[in-house]
Amino acid sequence: MIAEAGLAALWLAAALALLQFALAALGLRGAGNAAEITGAVRPVAIVQGTLAVVAMLLLITLFQQSDMSVKLVATNSHSAKPWIYKVAGAWGNHEGSMLLWVTILGVAGAAVAWFERRLNERTLTATLGAQGLIALGFYAFLLFSSNPFARLSPAPADGQGLNPLLQDPGLAFHPPTLYAGYVGLSVAFSFAVGALVTRDVGRDFARAMRPWVLGAWVFLTLGITAGSYWAYYELGWGGWWFWDPVENASLMPWLAATALLHSVTVLATRDGLRAWTVMLAVVAFSMSMIGTFLVRSGILTSVHAFAVDPERGAFILALLLLYIGGALALFALRVGTVREGTTFELVSREGGLVANNLLLSVILGIVLIGTLYPIVAAGFGVQLSVGPPFFNKAAGPIALLLVVVMAAGPLLRWRRDRLNEVVERLTWPISAAVFAFAGLIVFATPIGVLPLLGLSLAGGLAVASVAPLWKRDLRRTPLFTWGMVIAHLGIAVSLAGMACDAAFTKERLVALRAGEATRVGPWRVTFDGLSPVIGDNWSGLQARLTAERGGSSRIMLPQSRTFSDPPTVTSESAIATVLDGQLYTVLGAADGQGRWQLRFWWKPFVTLIWLGGVLVAFGGALSLLGRLRPRRRPVERWT
- Hey, which residues between 319 and 348 contact other proteins (CB under 8 A)? 340-345
Is residue 366 involved in binding other proteins (CB under 8 A)? yes
Which residues touch 379 (CB under 8 Å, ≥6 apart)? none
Nearer to other proteins, 31 or 384 (CB): 384
Is residue 566 involved in binding other proteins (CB under 8 A)? yes
Give CA 248 to chain center in angstroms. 9
Binding track over 258-297 against other proteins, x by CB under 8 A: ------------------x---------------------
- For residue 397, the minimal CB distance to other proteins (Å) is 9
- For residue 283, the minimal CB distance to other proteins (Å) is 12
Binding track over 572-601 against other proteins, x by CB under 8 A: --------------x-xx-xxx-x-x-x--
What residues pair up with 188 in beta bridges, in sequence order? none
Please state, in angstroms and rounded to a whole number, the distance separating the CA atoms of residues 168 and 478.
40
Nearer to other proteins, 441 or 589 (CB): 589
What residues pair up with 572 in beta bridges, in sequence order? 559
State which of residues 35, 150, 308, 441 lies at the interface with other proteins (CB under 8 A).
Answer: 308
Contact call for residues 496 and 477 (beta carbons, < 8 A)? no
Contact call for residues 59 and 149 (beta carbons, < 8 A)? yes
Is residue 16 involved in binding other proteins (CB under 8 A)? no
Cα-based distances in Å from 273 to 169, 279, 417: 43, 10, 19
Is residue 303 involved in binding other proteins (CB under 8 A)? yes
Please state, in angstroms and rounded to a whole number, the distance separating the CA atoms of residues 18 and 137.
10
Which SS3 state, helix, strand or coil, does residue 268 take? helix
Pick the stretch among 41-49, 313-321, 378-386, 492-500 that binds other proteins (CB under 8 A): 378-386
The answer to whether the bond into 211 is cis (omega within 30° of 0) is no
Cα-based distances in Å from 286 to 100, 395, 428: 18, 21, 40
Is residue 448 involved in binding other proteins (CB under 8 A)? no
Q: Which helix (H) or strand (E) holds 193?
A: helix 170-197
Is residue 382 involved in binding other proteins (CB under 8 A)? yes
Is residue 386 involved in binding other proteins (CB under 8 A)? yes
Half-sphere exposure in the Cβ direction for 158 (13 Å, CA): 10
Total chain residues near other proteins (CB under 8 A): 59
- For residue 599, the minimal CB distance to other proteins (Å) is 6
Binding track over 141-170 against other proteins, x by CB under 8 A: ----------------------x-------
- For residue 516, the minimal CB distance to other proteins (Å) is 11
Which residues touch 422 (CB under 8 Å, ≥6 apart)? 347, 408, 411, 412
Is residue 384 involved in binding other proteins (CB under 8 A)? yes
State which of residues 314, 329, 333, 369 lies at the interface with other proteins (CB under 8 A).
Answer: 369
Please state, in angstroms and rounded to a whole number, the distance separating the CA atoms of residues 153 and 311.
24
Please state, in angstroms and rounded to a whole number, the distance separating the CA atoms of residues 429 and 409.
12
Which residues touch 328 (CB under 8 Å, ≥6 apart)? 282
State which of residues 477, 568, 614, 638 lies at the interface with other proteins (CB under 8 A).
Answer: 568
Residues in the site for other proteins, rule: CB under 8 A? Answer: 163, 235, 276, 298, 301-303, 305, 307-308, 340-345, 354, 358-359, 361-363, 365-366, 369-370, 373-374, 377, 382-387, 389-390, 393-394, 398, 509-511, 560, 566-571, 586, 588-589, 591-593, 595, 597, 599
